[in-house]
Structure 1
Amino acid sequence: MRWVTYEAGDGPRTGLVDGDTVRGLAAGVTLLSLLGDGGERLAEAGAAVRRDPAEVRPLHGVRLLAPIPRPPSIRDGLCFLDHLRGCYRALGRTEDLHPAWSQTPAFYFGNPAAVVGPYDDVPIAPGSNWFDFELEIGAVVGRGGRDLHPDTAEQHIAGYMFFNDWTARDHQVRDMAQGIGMGKSKDNAITLGPALVTADELESYRRDGRLDIEVCAAVNGREVARGSLATADWSYGELLAFLSRGTELRPGDVIGSGTIPGGCLLEHVDTPDPAVFTGWLTPGDTVVLSAPALGETRQTVRPAEPVTPLRTGF
């Protein structure tokens, strides 16, 4: 099943994509409210809306929002170590990765208030000149739990969608210098969508125990990256097991896979000084993430809002 949250003029609705149409549930029923019991409510809602929808609208006639517009929490992992190696190379760093990267998967907490839909315009982060996208897959927790086992943790995932944590790389340099993790560099926008594709629909993509979902990113029609979730150094089972260690994962929590290698502009910096790299996103650029399994996001970059200095020069 492919579940969407959409707007057609009378407030957000939840619906099931059926070919070129959306079969809507009753007003007030959210996708988040259908999660939490191992998928039974979601399956029942799917059968009911196929049989007797509250409304049927053409897909092209609605505005798709993020499937979970305000997740309870967002965590973004770093499961592809070749992405990190690519970033190191672009920044002129020659050292090997610290052993910690192979001991546990890294992650940061994202901002649920920053979530935007799959076709929404995205303004450049205020004050940024090195604006970037990231090609990732997001998993939505369907059944909560804590201290999950890596062999069974994927059973807690309701489905998957694109996850794009737009990044101000110049702000990230300052975040890293302050040493307490991601801050304003990741606070601007997170794209989720276009649909929550339920886990059962993607089982045909499973190879040797992993989902071999191939995804692609393009900027202004030029392909920037292509890769598969199956090549991750840390599986989703391992990531969820680590994230739930000593704490609770809740239905609707969104978990990012980390960036597919090559799936951001930083990895393509071709000059010793990133400030003179001509590839950073600028107003009017169009970023498309696509996959046969997940659909497509298509977004236009817009100018940043002006910055009010905190102090002179800052």
Structure 2
Amino acid sequence: MKLVSFEVSTSIGPLHGIGAISQGKIIDLNMGYTCYLADKRGSYIAYELASVIVPPDMIAFLRSGQEGMEAARTAVDYVVRKQAKSTVVGPMGERVVYEMSEVKLKAPVPRPNSLRDYLAFEGHASLSGLRQLDKAWYEIPVCYKGNPDTVIAPEETIPWPSYSDLLDYELEYGIYIGKEGKNIPRERAEEYIAGYTIFNDISARDIQMQEMAVGLGPVKGKDFCSIMGPCLVTPDEIDPSNLKMIARINGEVWSENNSGTSYWSWAQIIEFASMEETLYPGDFLGSGTVEKGCGGELNRWLQPGDIIELEVEGIGVLRNRVGEKPPKRTFTR
């Protein structure tokens, strides 16, 4: 399935929900499952059961585990069959199916519990072999922890931080954790992956390099914006070892690579991340940038108004526009 978090305008304000993309439309999973249950058990209990098993919030849905995923598939199958005969509506006349143009997609998990971004691609870490990596890089998968409160959605404008002159994109993808776990062996790691999405790790390179020269960070170089979307693709529909990845700026291809060039596997990353630390449904883990997957490696820099499109095979296209550059701010002691 391709799962989304979405917002739709109504006469009483915005409605938020989770859905599945099917036949070019979005099926509201909570309402779709409500319709299914109403046929089986009556409309009153249908609302209560659906709100528990397929709640309209992605993290709450992921917490419902395999039962929730199976219920979501049931809802999609039910709605598709019914839709072939007539328009599907909820027990009280609610909308169930939306055109893509009617909704605003949010990040698949609008506010992840946590955000870890790894450095899994040797080509990017070594600047295509120009930099000698420490032996520790080959011994453990390393990451930085980002800011889950500054995740933005597809089509949202990327804020340009006032303290930076060098704004950069990063061509990445990532996973959402779907099951709570600690000390997870790599042989069972796939059980904990809810799905995959595209990740654009927007970076302010000048201040990033400045703060990392001290031996910590990045913080200000990253924490102002991260982008995820357009959907969460469940593991049964994707092969993460061979995904074509492309970055386009204003329609021009700047970066092109493949997920299969990663040095670290997701199984290894999950095993290490969960060592004496609990992973929870809704946690996000990023792959890091593919080789030559950012402007910094190409000495090409983003400008205000640029349109960034990151495409990952099997997931889709993540598109955003770069915002205006504000007056420069500097920090002094």
Do the structures match in fold with TM over 0.5? yes
Q: 1:153 aligns with which of 183, 186, 189?
A: 189
The percentage of aligned residue pairs carrying the same residue is 34
Structure 2 residue aligned with 1:272: none
Structure 1 residue aligned with 2:44: none
Structure 1 residue aligned with 2:85: none
Quick one: which amino acid aligns to residue 23 of structure 1? I
Quick one: which amino acid aligns to residue 194 of structure 1? P
Shift of 1:236: 0.5
Deviations 1:79-132 (A, max 9, x none): 00110112784xxxxx52110110101101010111000211102222211100
Q: 1:235 aligns with which of 265, 284, 289?
A: 265
> Normalising by structure 2, what TM-score?
0.83
Q: What is the CA–CA distance in structure 1 between the aligned matches of 2:331 and 2:319, rounded to whole Å?
A: 34
Shift of 1:308: 5.3
Structure 1 residue aligned with 2:83: none
Structure 1 residue aligned with 2:280: 250
Aligned residues: 292
Shift of 1:285: 0.6
Q: Secondary structure at the match of 1:259?
A: coil
Q: Secondary structure at the match of 1:6?
A: strand
Q: What is the CA–CA distance in structure 2 between the aligned matches of 1:38 and 1:262, rounded to whole Å?
A: 37
Q: 2:149 aligns with which of 92, 113, 118?
A: 113
Q: 2:304 aligns with which of 255, 265, 283?
A: 283
Q: 1:29 aligns with which of 29, 48, 56?
A: 56
Q: What is the CA–CA distance in structure 2 between the aligned matches of 1:13 and 1:157, rounded to whole Å?
A: 21
* Deviates further, 290-299 or 104-113: 290-299
| CA RMSD across the alignment | 1.9
Shift of 1:309: 5.0
Quick one: which amino acid aligns to residue 306 of structure 2? D
Specify the structure having the higher radius of gyration (Cα).
2
Q: 2:121 aligns with which of 80, 85, 98?
A: 80
Quick one: which amino acid aligns to residue 20 of structure 2? L
Q: What is the CA–CA distance in structure 1 between the aligned matches of 2:143 and 2:104, rounded to whole Å?
A: 31
Quick one: which amino acid aligns to residue 105 of structure 1? P
Shift of 1:305: 4.1
Q: 1:12 aligns with which of 9, 16, 19?
A: 16
CA 1:87–1:228: 2 relative to 1, 3 Å: closer
Q: Secondary structure at the match of 2:213?
A: helix
> Normalising by structure 1, what TM-score?
0.88
Structure 1 residue aligned with 2:242: 212
More helix by share: 2
Is the contact between residue 127 and residue 304 of structure 1 (CA under 8 Å) also seen in structure 2? no
Structure 2: gaps spanning 5 or more residues: 32-54, 80-89
Structure 1: gaps spanning 5 or more residues: 90-94, 270-278
Q: Secondary structure at the match of 2:154?
A: coil
Q: What is the CA–CA distance in structure 2 between the aligned matches of 1:50 and 1:22, rounded to whole Å?
A: 13
Q: What is the CA–CA distance in structure 2 between the aligned matches of 1:307 and 1:154, rounded to whole Å?
A: 45
Is the contact between residue 39 and residue 158 of structure 1 (CA under 8 Å) also seen in structure 2? no
CA 1:309–1:244: 2 relative to 1, 3 Å: same
Higher relative contact order (Cα pairs below 8 Å, separated by 6+ residues): 1
CA 1:306–1:42: 2 relative to 1, 3 Å: farther
Q: Secondary structure at the match of 2:208?
A: helix
